[in-house]
Amino acid sequence: MSEPVLLVHKDGPVATVTLNRPDAMNAFSAELRLALGKAFRDLKADPGILVAIVTGAGRAFCAGMDLKELSSGGADASGFDRSVVGQDMAEAIAEFEGPVIAAVNGHAVTAGFELALACDFIVASTSAKFADTHARVGILPGWGLSVRLPRLIGINRAKEISFTGNTVTAAQAQEWGLVNRVVPPGELLPTCMELARQMASCVPHVLKGYKKLIDEGYGIHLPDALKAEKLAGIESARQVTAAEIATRREGVFHRGRDQTRQADPEQGQ
């Protein structure tokens, strides 16, 4: 029996989604695209899952579209195939309400680069490499790369990456603000899991609402974003009691004290 092309592991409120075509550097076949879309639809429907981590098996995160399949001309060749309604992976990831962390363990190329950018932020191993080869393959992006990358690192740097197809190392990606952190390969998943657990320890509906507030505010003009945030803040305050705030404040205080102790044991005494 062949291995599934996608693995989903749930550990409490965190789901780790692993692209599992290591022999093909996790390139997107039609089967993998549909499996990834279905996985995120299922995670959205699971009230126990608050945060997701996306990574790749083997030495690559995702090498992009399966060019062998694309060049076959078969019925599933198109990267924008929607033959199964509601399974489009880009939309499914976007509709997941909790944070999504990209744990980039190796090459993230073209469509794989787009997958990483579709997540809320990227943590990369020192082995990670990023490249956009759309212009060299001869097809324009359709999963957000030309929109997200310039907003993340600036239009000039984005143009350099996309117009050359050159590889960007993990160190360069961090310098340019493409990734949040760079860690040794063995620390990648533990680092992402720790971040995911910290996020999952927040008030669940506020965590989801905060992600929505940031994403929607980022896409509109500043005055409109400030107005929307004010209205959301007022509505949020109306829904919480003084007793709930007091209890949560105590939790924040103890967490801060614990972090201080870990950073400086003498100061935390």
- Half-sphere CA count of 244, side-chain side, radius 13 A: 7
Percent pLDDT > 90 in the chain is 66
Q: What is the pLDDT of residue 231?
A: 82
Q: Are residues 255 and 189 in the same domain?
A: no
For residue 93, is it within any domain? yes
CATH code, domain carrying 18: 3.90.226.10
Instruction: Give me the number of domains the chain comprises.
Output: 2
The residue out of 147, 166, 200 marking a domain boundary is 200
Q: In the chain, what is the straight-line distance between the N-terminal and C-terminal CA atoms, in Å? A: 57
For residue 1, is it within any domain? no
How crowded is residue 159: how many other Cβ atoms within 10 Å of its Cβ?
13
Q: What is the pLDDT of residue 127?
A: 97
Q: Are residues 52 and 81 in the same domain?
A: yes
Taking alpha carbons only, the member of 64, 62, 70, 192 closest to residue 125 is 192
Q: What is the pLDDT of residue 243?
A: 72
For β-strands 129-131 and 168-169, DSSP reports them as: antiparallel
H/E run at residue 17: strand 14-19
Q: What is the pLDDT of residue 256?
A: 63
For residue 31, is it within any domain? yes
How confident is the chain (269 residues) per 10-residue block, as mean pLDDT?
Answer: 92 98 95 95 97 98 86 54 53 95 97 96 98 89 91 96 96 98 98 98 95 90 76 75 66 64 59
Cβ 170 vs Cβ 182: under 8 Å:
yes
174 burial via Cβ count (<10 Å: 0-12, 13-18, 19+):
middle
Cβ 149 vs Cβ 168: under 8 Å:
no
Q: What is the pLDDT of residue 84?
A: 40
- In 87-144, where does DSSP find H-type helix? 89-95, 111-118, 134-137
CA-CA distance, 3 to 109, in Å (whole number)?
23
Give the total residue count for the chain.
269
For residue 268, is it within any domain? no
Residue-number span of the structural domain to which 26 is assigned: 6-200
Q: Are residues 211 and 196 in the same domain?
A: no
The residue out of 145, 167, 200 marking a domain boundary is 200
For residue 269, is it within any domain? no
Q: What is the pLDDT of residue 87?
A: 41
Q: What is the pLDDT of residue 260?
A: 61
Q: Are residues 189 and 259 in the same domain?
A: no
Taking alpha carbons only, the member of 16, 30, 15 closest to residue 5 is 30
CB neighbours of 156 closer than 8 A, spacing ≥ 6?
Answer: none
Q: Are residues 82 and 167 in the same domain?
A: yes
Q: What is the pLDDT of residue 254?
A: 66
